[in-house]
Chains A and B, each alone.
Chain A
């Protein structure tokens, strides 16, 4: 017989009340776990998607030029001292300090060329890395395989009057149109895509590239640092970060995070109130019992230990159950909340220990006053019989 025997046996006797307290606290913890896990999983999903198809660093030739572009209307430009980027320079990108954060490099060569009677912009790309970066591309037909196949933008397809399976002639050379892009609403609609080596040859730019897009993994990767590191390796190129897309998505997520924290605060407050009211009610119901304890010589600290141990046991149980229920809730809600259907649930041990720790802290803090109240009970008044 020890003090904890009293706490445990009391919990067993007051099953309904303790179940109510456990469920109340559990729902609170589960809500917090769900919100935190959902936020974490959605962040991770967005970062993963940005990793997959977000080119977030652009490498272009260094030039002393003035762009004559206003509101999307280009009036040409004044460019002088234009330098080229050599294809072999791109290998240097893999040697930067943060090279492990680079998921794809997509080099491009651009140049105007005549197809029949039409002037078109030919883009030489590495189809593997290009398709990895631009997962939103919908291709009617197939992706080009080999140097003799091309891919047409939707507008280019109309202008050249060529569809999948047709042939077009560029500089006396015949190319098969492997596929046509669905309308993207971007500059891609007007382009003719060919393999990089073939385009370099057709444009007379062997071994040279016009620009390169780099997709960097964004979970904690310092894009700014990477830009500096690449610029140091390729001094002749202009390296810049594409921030807007990332920032827009992160801003939306940040708002959701703030909402989650606010919700968690409200839930913590309600949870504390439930614990406080239930424990206070339990103490008041046990007035006689506490009077007996005091009469037979229990110190105030002994009474507090009994009450706080009960609160701790219930809180721990609520913490474990709340974590399990919260993760279950997050798993169910994630497909509806995340942008991609295959978003992964993030299992974070910090959330597990944090939720159990939070339940315990919450339970103990909310029970502190009831425990103090119980310990200060006058045994004579508590017993009334004496």
Chain B
């Protein structure tokens, strides 16, 4: 059984008097352990697809099934709980909390989990060591380089061992050398068994993934293995 099953997902927004159709019937299947990149031009609907996949954006029609759970049929705050337990997010602008240290930022998803403080610290240290920042636990985000901030964001996304790691343009704000290092890190995590779904506009990033899904005007136009 597929880890993620997206069936005929449509999403439309109203913008003034106009109705914008961001997704027009998307069907995607993702297996556990896959590294998927979603590509497309600006306005193709790739970021909307990622937010629907991440349980943050109710589709207008269609279904998203993840690990056997129909996401948008979950009641109330159960969807938030599902995100906390199963998903890890890496955002384009890192979105680290500026007043928390690297270790505290990484521990953020664990703040709502019943665990001892020592266990949380140990999990954060392990995650930061995994991304090569074991020596910078106590640095604030503004004391880290762009690449290091990205790594902290990745460590935050994997600290709770999620089923799926979702990344939105993770190299969008990085120079080419750092981008390569970050993509290599994603690949490394994937090789260790982590399912990764990444939105990117950089074709070079596609070379790190198992499969690339191309979107155009809210529809899947091509899937490259």
Contact = CB atoms under 8 A, between A and B. Distances in A.
Interface string A298-340: 1111100000000000000000000000000000000000000
A210 B158 CA distance: 98
Given A1-B110, A385-B47, A385-B92, A12 B99 contact: yes
B218 to A, nearest CB: 16
Interface in A355-386: 378-380, 383, 385-386
B70 interface: no
Interface in B139-185: 156, 168-169
A206 B122 CA distance: 98
Contacts of B110: 1
Given A9-B104, A299-B77, A380-B56, A3 B111 contact: yes
B168 A1 contact: no
Which range contains the number of B residues in contact with the other chain? 35 or more
A319 B102 CA distance: 34
Nearest to B106: A1
Given A1-B104, A385-B91, A299 B99 contact: no
A386 B81 CA distance: 19
Interface stretch (B2-10, B82-90, B187-195): B82-90
A294 B80 contact: yes
A341 B47 CA distance: 75
Contacts of B109: 296-297
Contacts of A295: 54, 56, 83, 89, 91
A3 B112 contact: yes
A289 interface: yes
B100 interface: yes
B133 to A, nearest CB: 17
B48 to A, nearest CB: 8
A304 B47 CA distance: 28
B74 to A, nearest CB: 12
Nearest to A301: B77
Contacts of A291: 95
Contact of B100 (A6, A301, A302, A379): A6
Contacts of B73: none
A90 interface: no
A298 B80 CA distance: 6
A187 interface: no
Contacts of B91: 292, 295, 383, 385-386
Contact of B97 (A3, A292, A385): A292
A1 B54 contact: no
A138 interface: no
Interface in A231-262: none
Contacts of B77: 299-301
Given A6-B100, A289-B97, A386-B91, A380 B51 contact: yes
B98 interface: yes
A299 B98 CA distance: 21
A291 B97 CA distance: 11
B95 A297 contact: no
A6 B97 contact: yes
A11 to B, nearest CB: 9
B219 interface: no
Interface in A154-183: none
Given A295-B89, A297-B85, A297-B109, A9 B47 contact: no
A296 B81 CA distance: 9
Interface string B45-60: 0010011001011000
Interface in B107-131: 107-112, 117, 120-121, 124
B93 interface: yes
Contact of A296 (B51, B57, B84, B169): B84
B104 A383 contact: no
Given A295-B56, A380-B57, A2 B111 contact: yes
Nearest to B47: A386
Contacts of A2: 111, 117
A99 interface: no
A44 interface: no
A357 to B, nearest CB: 29
Top-10 shortest CB links A-B = A297-B84, A13-B99, A1-B107, A297-B83, A386-B51, A299-B77, A9-B99, A385-B92, A379-B56, A296-B109
Given A13-B98, A295-B89, A386-B168, 19 more contacts: A1-B107, A3-B112, A6-B100, A288-B95, A292-B89, A292-B95, A294-B80, A296-B108, A297-B80, A297-B112, A299-B77, A383-B91, A383-B95, A385-B47, A385-B91, A385-B169, A386-B54, A386-B56, A386-B91
21 contacts: A3-B111, A3-B112, A6-B97, A9-B99, A289-B95, A292-B89, A292-B97, A295-B91, A297-B81, A297-B82, A297-B83, A297-B85, A297-B109, A298-B80, A298-B112, A299-B81, A301-B77, A383-B91, A385-B91, A385-B95, A386-B57
